[in-house]
Amino acid sequence: MRAVAATRIESDALVVRAVTVGESDVIATLITERVGKVSAMVRGARRSTKRVGGALEPMHTIAVHLDDFGGEMATMREARVVKFRPALVGNLEGLEAAGTALRWARQLFPPRTPEPEGWRILITLLDALEGGAPPGRALAGAGMTMLAAVGYGMELDQCVGCGRECPESRSACIDPARGGLVCRACGGASTVVAPSVRRAARALGAGPGEDVGAADASAVLELVVRAMAAHGGVER
């Protein structure tokens, strides 16, 4: 029986989960720039620092060399950190925000499917947190753009049921599980948001949203968390 030749994968990556197997091996779940989400076996990761060093630590961007034999799991041959984020690692609130975003990506992104926009969103968020951006606002913006990138963006202008527009000056019923605004004629929703929250959601979905206040950013983040739970099975 002929051995299957390995395909070499070289890519920048982020570690979104690492699980110890046996005494020294680790299964790492990676979001890679080139091939999307992939799982990789790292033999002897807990014994040797020569091939992977501290590269399995989350939050840093790493460069990986993987051997892919066509199965569910690749084999990691080498990894090295190419961008450290020491300020982020030392910031508890920033770490929590970054960890939440990486968990969203792990749940939302399909295996072996390049997600260039999703990769950009994660790198932008981590760099912003490294630079001292407010964690809640940065995470809310990343969540809005990540949902849109995978096809679950929230409709904030008109009812997802009948298409009726909601005036900008009025409060709106939002159901993240149904995809956004729901008018009362179509059942409405338990969450009613002020006009400023809709404006904040749009601003955060389009960029840094530097003029968004903390209270509005928090309300947007709650909508994002509920949408992630509904569409990606991400636990709250």
Residue 1 located in a structural domain: no
Query: Which residues, 6 or more positions from 126, have their beta carbon under 8 angstroms from its beta carbon?
Result: 14, 59, 61, 85, 88, 98
Whether 67 and 93 map to the same domain: the answer is no
Are 103 and 219 in a shared domain?
yes
Are 62 and 94 in the same domain? no
Strand partners, 30: 15, 38
Q: Which of 84, 107, 142 is the last residue of a domain?
A: 84
Q: Is the pLDDT of residue 111 over 80?
A: yes
Domain count, the chain: 2
Task: Provide mean pLDDT across the span 40-58.
Answer: 74
**Distance in angstroms between the alpha carbons of the first and the last residue of the chain:** 48
Q: Greater confidence, 191 or 1?
A: 191
Q: Is the pLDDT of residue 71 over 80?
A: no
What does the DSSP 8-state code read for residue 36? E
Contact between 142 and 121 under an 8 Å Cβ cutoff? The reply is yes
Q: d(Cα 4, Cα 26) in Å, to the nearest integer?
A: 23
44 and 20 in a common domain: yes
Instruction: Write down how long the chain is.
Output: 236
Radius of gyration of the chain (CA): 20
Q: In whole numbers, what is the pLDDT of the chain averaged over residues?
A: 91
- For residue range 150-202, list pLDDT tens digits in order: 999 999 999 999 999 999 999 999 999 999 999 999 998 889 999 999 999 99
Structural domain includes residue 2: no
What is the structure's pLDDT at 209?
A: 78
Q: Which domain holds residue 57?
A: 7-84
Question: What confidence tier does 31 reach under pLDDT thresholds 50, 70, 90?
Answer: very high
Q: Where are the alpha helices (DSSP H) in the chain?
A: 86-89, 92-108, 116-130, 135-149, 195-206, 214-232
123 and 172 part of one domain: yes
Q: Are 126 and 105 in contact (CB under 8 A)?
A: no
- Same domain? For 72 and 135 the reply is no
Q: Are residues 37 and 151 in the same domain?
A: no
Q: Supply the CATH number for residue 47's domain.
A: 2.40.50.140
Which residues, 6+ apart, have CB-to-CB distance to 151 below 8 Å? none
Q: Which domain-ending residue is among 64, 84, 104?
A: 84
Q: Do 63 and 80 contact (CB within 8 A), yes or no?
A: yes
Q: CA–CA distance from 103 to each of 16, 18, 70, 121 (Å)?
A: 7, 12, 25, 13
Question: Given pLDDT bands bounded at 50, 70 and 90, which one contains residue 25?
Answer: confident
Regarding whether 124 and 220 lie in a shared domain, the answer is: yes
pLDDT at 213 over 90: yes
Q: What is the average pLDDT across 24-31?
A: 91
Which of 84, 102, 122 is the last residue in one of the domains?
84
